[in-house]
């Protein structure tokens, strides 16, 4: 990683810190300079406008998610068996649990950005795929041979988004189980496995 790339990543990460703690309206170039102990004007040098900064921040969030997901997923074995589906569901649950346990800041920042950026279609579209990859989901549903891979992938992502929301600000955020535990992973894996084992649409004509 070059020094410029590293500095850009540090700035984007600091933006996530500020947004998660104080909201998007608290995000300024000078605020990031102070947060990182950089000379005044450093953030403006790399990102001329606030929108440039936001685009980079969302890109950084997405990159973090892609790396974390890849690191958490085993290569599926016999995916169309009950054991194979359980393994896939468990792997996805580990990733979701990692979001809840280790990346709560990223989730809070993303929710704050989503509300504020609803009228910016480019950033909104980038945020929509910043935690879960539609491409990967379609690849999985094709591997499983579902009836409608594109729609089934969209439904799977909607489920995962709901699980994250429920355990971040919904009822299960109050009830548990606590993220970062085997109990939480098991609780997440159960509905994921159900979604992956829906009957396939087979044309028997």
With helix as H, strand as E and coil as C, how does the chain read?
Answer: CCHHHHHHHHHHHHHHHHHHHHCHHHCCHHHHHHHHCCCCCHHHHHCCCHHHHHHHHHHHHHHHHHHHHHHHCCCCCCCCCHHHHHHHHHHHHHHHHHHHHHCHHHHHHHHHHHHHCCCCHHHHHHHHCCCCCHHHHHHHHHHHCCCCHHHHHHHHHHHHHHHHHHHHCCCHHHHCCCCCCHHHHHHHHHHHHHHHCCCCCCCCC
Express each pLDDT in 84-97 by its tens digit.
899 999 999 999 99
Does residue 93 contact residue 161 with C-beta atoms inside 8 Å?
A: no
Q: Across all residues in the chain, what is the average pLDDT?
A: 90
Q: What pLDDT score does 147 carry?
A: 85
Q: What pLDDT score does 199 carry?
A: 47
Does residue 139 contact residue 164 with C-beta atoms inside 8 Å?
A: no
Express each pLDDT in 48-105 by its tens digit.
999 999 999 999 999 999 888 877 776 666 677 888 899 999 999 999 999 999 999 9
Mean pLDDT of 131-153: 90
Residue 146: give the domain boundaries. Answer: 59-196
Domain tally for the chain? 1
Lowest mean pLDDT among 11-25, 77-91, 153-167, 189-203: 189-203
Does residue 127 contact residue 114 with C-beta atoms inside 8 Å?
A: yes
Express each pLDDT in 98-130 by its tens digit.
999 999 999 999 999 999 999 999 999 999 999
- Domain assignment present for residue 173? The answer is yes
Query: Residue 198: pLDDT band by 50, 70, 90 thresholds?
Result: low
Express each pLDDT in 176-186 by its tens digit.
899 999 999 99
- Domain assignment present for residue 161? The answer is yes
- Domain assignment present for residue 179? The answer is yes
- Domain assignment present for residue 152? The answer is yes
- Domain assignment present for residue 43? The answer is no
Residue 170 sits in a domain whose CATH number is 1.10.357
- Domain assignment present for residue 30? The answer is no
């Amino acid at each position: 990683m070059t020094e410029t790339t590293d500095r850009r990543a540090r700035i984007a990460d600091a933006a996530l810190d500020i947004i998660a703690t104080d909201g998007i309206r608290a995000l300024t170039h000078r605020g990031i300079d102070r947060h990182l102990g950089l000379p005044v004007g450093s953030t403006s040098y790399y990102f001329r406008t606030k929108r440039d900064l936001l685009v980079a921040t969302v890109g950084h969030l997405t990159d973090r998610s892609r790396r974390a997901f890849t690191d958490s997923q085993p290569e599926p074995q016999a995916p169309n068996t009950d054991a194979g589906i359980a393994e896939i569901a468990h792997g996805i649950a580990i990733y979701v649990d990692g979001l809840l346990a280790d990346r709560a800041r990223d989730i809070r920042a993303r929710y704050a950005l989503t509300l504020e950026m609803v009228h910016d279609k480019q950033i909104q579209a980038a945020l929509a795929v910043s935690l879960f990859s539609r491409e990967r989901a379609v690849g999985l549903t094709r591997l499983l041979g579902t009836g409608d891979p594109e729609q089934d992938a969209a439904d799977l992502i909607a489920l995962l988004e709901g699980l994250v929301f429920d355990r971040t600000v919904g009822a299960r955020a109050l009830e548990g189980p606590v993220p970062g535990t085997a109990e939480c992973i098991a609780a997440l894996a159960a509905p994921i496995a159900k979604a992956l084992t829906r009957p396939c649409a087979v044309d028997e004509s």
